Structure 1
Amino acid sequence: MPNIKSAIKRVKTTHTAEERNISQKSEMRTAIKRAHSAINTNADNKDELVSFALKKVDKASQRNLIHKNKAARIKSSLMTGSK
């Protein structure tokens, strides 16, 4: 455990940011999985799930949680599968 006041604060802020990032990436992955399963089963709400997953992917890319090229790959796979 750090002794310097600024280092202690840095540990706290890093921990909260890490939790937030992990949570957002998890939500994104869950949305992608739900969209892919809806596409595979041809569910009636697949358009809603795909658009929600695209939104989550865009937000993750904006916040630098995933690389922009990875976001483009994910979005492309969702869009080609939903047709």
Structure 2
Amino acid sequence: MPNIESAIKRARTSEAANAQNSSQLSAMRTAIKKFEKAAEAGADNVAELFQAATKAIDMAESKGLIHKNKASRDKSRLSKKIAK
């Protein structure tokens, strides 16, 4: 445990940021999985779920949680699945 006041504050801040980042990454993965499951099943709300998954990927990219190339790759794979 840090002794210096600024280090204590930084540890608290880092913990909060880590929780936020983990939550957002998890939400992105969940949105992708929902879309993939719906696309396999041939559900009628596939376009809506595609839009939600794309938005989640873009948000994660803009926050620096994933690399821009990974975001592009993921969106490309999703669009291929919606085209089938």
TM above 0.5, one fold? yes
CA shift digits 1:31-77 (9 cap, x unpaired): 00000111111100011001000000000000000000000010001
TM-score, scaled relative to structure 2: 0.97
Q: Which amino acid aligns with 1:19?
A: A
Partner residue, 1:3: 3
TM-score, scaled relative to structure 1: 0.98
Q: How does 1:40-59 map to 2 (within 5 A)?
A: 40-59=40-59
Q: Which amino acid aligns with 2:54?
A: L
Partner residue, 2:17: 17
Q: Which runs of 5+ in 2 are unaligned?
A: none
Identity %: 51
Distance (whole Å) between structure 2 residues aligned to residue 62 and residue 42 of structure 1: 30
Q: Which runs of 5+ in 1 are unaligned?
A: none
- What is the count of residue pairs matched by the alignment? 83
Match of 1:65, SS state, is: coil
Distance (whole Å) between structure 1 residues aligned to residue 67 and residue 44 of structure 2: 31
